Amino acid sequence: MTDVGGIDNNRLRSLIERIEHLEEEKKALAGDIRDVFAEAKSAGFDVKIMREVLKLRKMNAADRDEQESLLDTYRRALDL
């Protein structure tokens, strides 16, 4: 174990390399997601709405209901 200034440089290097690898994987996955959205768009789906649906699906039911209720209140207040 090599210690520089109280830091185990082998451990630090290992952690940095793992993060770099994960960042590469994340970049590849982001590209795959873009490809799926492009496929959806070419099939006639509205990508903006799909992104909104994905956002809603991540929320729990109570938060989703609260957001929809508040949105409805704002719409009525603005006569939309």
At residue 45, the pLDDT reads 98
Residue 5, pLDDT above cutoff 90? no
The Cα 50–Cα 46 span in angstroms is 6
- In three-state form (DSSP H/G/I as H, E/B as E, the rest C), the secondary structure along the chain is CCEECCEEHHHHHHHHHHHHHHHHHHHHHHHHHHHHHHHHHHCCCCHHHHHHHHHHHHCCHHHHHHHHHHHHHHHHHCCC
pLDDT digits (tens, 9 = 90+) for 51-76: 999 999 999 999 999 999 999 999 99
Q: What's the pTM value of the predicted model, to 2 decimals?
A: 0.72
Structure tokens at 18: 């793992």
Distance between CA 56 and CA 63 in Å, rounded? 9
